[in-house]
Amino acid sequence: MHTGRDMKKTIVKGMNLAELEEWVLQLGEKKFRARQIYEGLYKHRYETWQEFTNLSLALREKLQEYASIPKIEVTRHLKSELDATQKFTFEVAEGKEVEAVWIPSADGERKTICISSQVGCTLACAFCATGKLDFQGNLKAWQILDQVIQVEKLVGESASNIVFMGMGEPMHNYFAVLKTAHLLHDEDTFTFAARKITISTAGDVKGIRRFVENREPFNFAISLNHPDANKRADVMDIDKKYPLQELLAAAKDFTKTLGRKVTFEYVMIPDVNMSQEDAAKLVKLANSLNCKINLIPLNTDFYGWERPTEEQIAAFRQAISKAKVPVMNRRSPGKDINGACGMLSLKGKPNTPRTNYAR
């Protein structure tokens, strides 16, 4: 398998057009070759230099000598028995794995790929299984991008939406994440509209402000998970560094400067953040800025916490219906394969054997 470990060769997957242009010039080739390589990598999804038949044999041999097109390999592929969700475990480097999830909507119109940005995570959100893993490093842009390429190839369909909500904190790998998002957004290659790409954060204020300063066009989501400034740190450890009021100030700056809604993700945890008082505070918070709220039932069972009942979910949603913002109750697709929100931790069904898909 090719994982980019051969440091003698330049890894070209993950390069944007400007980087490829600079590289081909250094290689002694004409600048227009960069566009041919760029489209071959991302539009045609070529995996070997032999496939670049629009290039001369001599140039292909030269590229074979000096450049590599790395590829992540799927080591486990699970399909939900409850819905059409599929989860993939990828080896991104020797001994390092991440997960990505294919999530089609019930009507089949929306097909989302949830991708990872780190091996493990730099944070430890209390409800999240990924946060229990050791952090083993940031993914490079090509490793993030290749999750989309390989999932679409394995599923045999094209995605309509991309969400950076898998393993890791995207703002802690900011430049690789945004580079990947722009490659996906390029109308000459992957063609995802900016509104079809969502980047999330647990609340990294520095990353939010950088996102705003750069006027990034993509959708943005914040894992809120508690509306009380004195209690949020019990659920979100990042609150100790970036307190709720500081986070909300950055969110308001986002909405005013960019003129777009921010999405608040809210994992519902009975006896933790679903009281009538919590609902009232959430309503007040939501009405203070341009946002929408995604309600997500708890999917893990750490600390003896239990998933809310349908009655509890309905009561909480009713309590926050006073908010003058859109409120949606997100389902938990792929729960039986540990593919739902907060469950990504390199685990599948109990006793599920690993499947080697290496080709």
Confidence of residue 241 (pLDDT cuts 50, 70, 90): very high
Angle subtended by helix axes 205-213 and 174-185, to nearest 10: 40
Q: Is 37 helix (H, G, I), strand (E, B) or coil?
A: helix
b or e along 196-225 (b: 16 or more beta carbons within 10 Å of the residue's beta carbon)?
A: bbbbbbbbbbebbeebbeeebebbbbbbbb
Look up 114 and say whether it is catalytic: no
Q: Which of 99, 169, 216, 265 is catalytic?
A: 99
Each residue of 44-75: pLDDT tens digit?
A: 999 999 999 999 999 999 999 999 999 999 99
pTM of the predicted protein model: 0.92
Q: Is 103 helix (H, G, I), strand (E, B) or coil?
A: strand
Q: Is 112 helix (H, G, I), strand (E, B) or coil?
A: strand
Each residue of 306-319: pLDDT tens digit?
A: 999 999 999 999 99
Look up 125 and say whether it is catalytic: no
Residue 86: partners with Cβ closer than 8 Å, 6 or more residues away: 77, 78, 79, 80, 101, 102, 155, 334, 339
Closest Cα to residue 71, out of 133, 140, 125, 157? 140
Residue 26: partners with Cβ closer than 8 Å, 6 or more residues away: none
Confidence of residue 6 (pLDDT cuts 50, 70, 90): very low
Q: Which of 114, 128, 291, 341 is catalytic?
A: 341
Closest Cα to residue 257, out of 289, 282, 223, 292? 289
Tell me how many degrees the CA angle 296-228-208 measures, rounded to the nearest 5.
Answer: 70
Looking at residue 7, what is its pLDDT?
Answer: 46
Looking at residue 346, what is its pLDDT?
Answer: 65
Residue 321: partners with Cβ closer than 8 Å, 6 or more residues away: 327
Between 4 and 168, residue with greater pLDDT: 168
Q: Quick one: what percent of the chain has pLDDT higher than 90? A: 83
